[in-house]
Structure 1
Amino acid sequence: MAVPVRLVPLLDQFDFARQRLVDRMSGPVVDSGNGTGVPVGPMTDAEYFWEPGPGCWSVRRHADGPGARATLLTGAGAWGRDATPPPHPAPPPFTTIAWRLSHLTELLALRADHTAGGRGMTREDFRVSGDAASAVADFDRAAGAWRAALVAADDAALDAVGHSTYPYGSDPEDPFLDVVWWVNQELLHHGAEIALLRDLYRLLPAGN
């Protein structure tokens, strides 16, 4: 099936941002934005869990319990992500790469399921990664599932309200094309945050 014309620029944007983020986390080079390759090493577990200051939200073992100002850890398996039911803390806690990447991976995986899957997956079903390499692989897998849901959509689906039934946003009330736009901006802004945190970590004195 041909990709609808309206979807093409959003799909191209998603593909570029996805690949750029994977390369930024994995190396050995990342596109600087103008086609020039910049050397970058794979993200370490230390970077993945780095807390730049006190009170950060992160990914933690369920056995250890949630961090400061969090009341629960969401996710299946041994690891979970710091969270709290609404209202969320104000000002919001600073979040680690682990938290941001887990959040991004979860929203992609769940939206793929609620668009072209069984439409039953919840945050409690999502397995949170406890190391950097697994987290990057899980992100790329979730991004692939979301992309498959996108290319399966025709023009009627793009206009359909509730084509995505993702339960943690306004998807059931929005045309699918609006959801596609929203997911792209989530990928772009969280990808930029993760890249910046990698840059800041690189400036730490040796041994810290």
Structure 2
Amino acid sequence: MPVPSRLSPLLQQFDFARERLADRLTGPVMDSGNGNGTDIEVGPLTDEEYLWEPVPDCWSVRRRTDGPGPRATVLAGTGDWGRDAAPAPHPFPPPFTTIAWRLSHLTELLALRADHTAGGHTLTRDDFRSDGDAAGAIAAFADAASAWRKALLGADDTALDTVGHSTYPHGSDPDDPFIETIWWVNQELLHHGAEIALLRDLYRARKPRRTP
């Protein structure tokens, strides 16, 4: 099915943001983004960096047996690891979140929206499984992004205008035309991807510089 003209730029934006974040997580190089072809060397995300808490009282992904972190009341999802969470009203000021938390959040919203657009329309946050290691989290993100992209490719112009084409229950999707949901997912990927990239820069900068 041809990609609708209105969807094409949003799909290209999604692909760019997805690839850039994936490269930023895995290395060995990433495009600096300035268009001159210069690459920046980055190492693969380690488990230590994935779970690094740069400030006190971070929200993160934790072993379920350890219980939720500061100001969190639950570890969302299923499996041995869960993501710090709390029901509304959420803590204020918002907790600072780790790479693990942000990547889990992105993966969940992509995977669940794919299901509620082109899948069984049944998955909830209680079904989502967070990973306690960097490699598993990166692989899960790649799978979720691919599932969401496949769902987008199944959308024609009628679907783009349909309110509630995505029935994802943890957002405004049931009340929005699908093209607005697509825009929202892109901005989530762009801004959380930028946050993760900055955390990688801060983690690298915290290590003592070697003297010549």
TM-score by length of 1: 0.98
Query: Which among 83, 86, 89 is matched to residue 84 of structure 1?
Result: 86
Give the structure 2 partner of residue 55 of structure 1.
57
1:145 and 1:94 map into 2 onto residues whose CA distance is 29
Structure 1 runs of 4+ aligned residues shifted over 2 Å read none
Unaligned runs of 5+ in 1: none
In structure 1, give the amino acid aligned to 2:101: W
Name the SS for the 1:146 alignment partner: helix
Q: CA deviation at 1:31?
A: 1.0
Matching of residue 163 in structure 1 with residue 165 in structure 2: yes
Give the structure 2 partner of residue 110 of structure 1.
112
2:27 and 2:207 map into 1 onto residues whose CA distance is 22
Give the structure 2 partner of residue 10 of structure 1.
10
1:49-105 C-alpha deviation (Å, 9 max, x unpaired): 000111000000111100000000001110000000000000000000000000000
Give the structure 1 partner of residue 177 of structure 2.
175
How many residues matched?
207
Q: How does 1:23-172 map to 2 (within 5 A)?
A: 23-33=23-33, 34=35, 35-172=37-174
What RMSD in Å do the two structures reach over aligned CA positions? 1.0
Q: CA deviation at 1:205?
A: 2.8
1:51 and 1:182 map into 2 onto residues whose CA distance is 28
How many percent of aligned residue pairs carry the same amino acid?
Answer: 73
Give the structure 2 partner of residue 22 of structure 1.
22
Unaligned runs of 5+ in 2: none
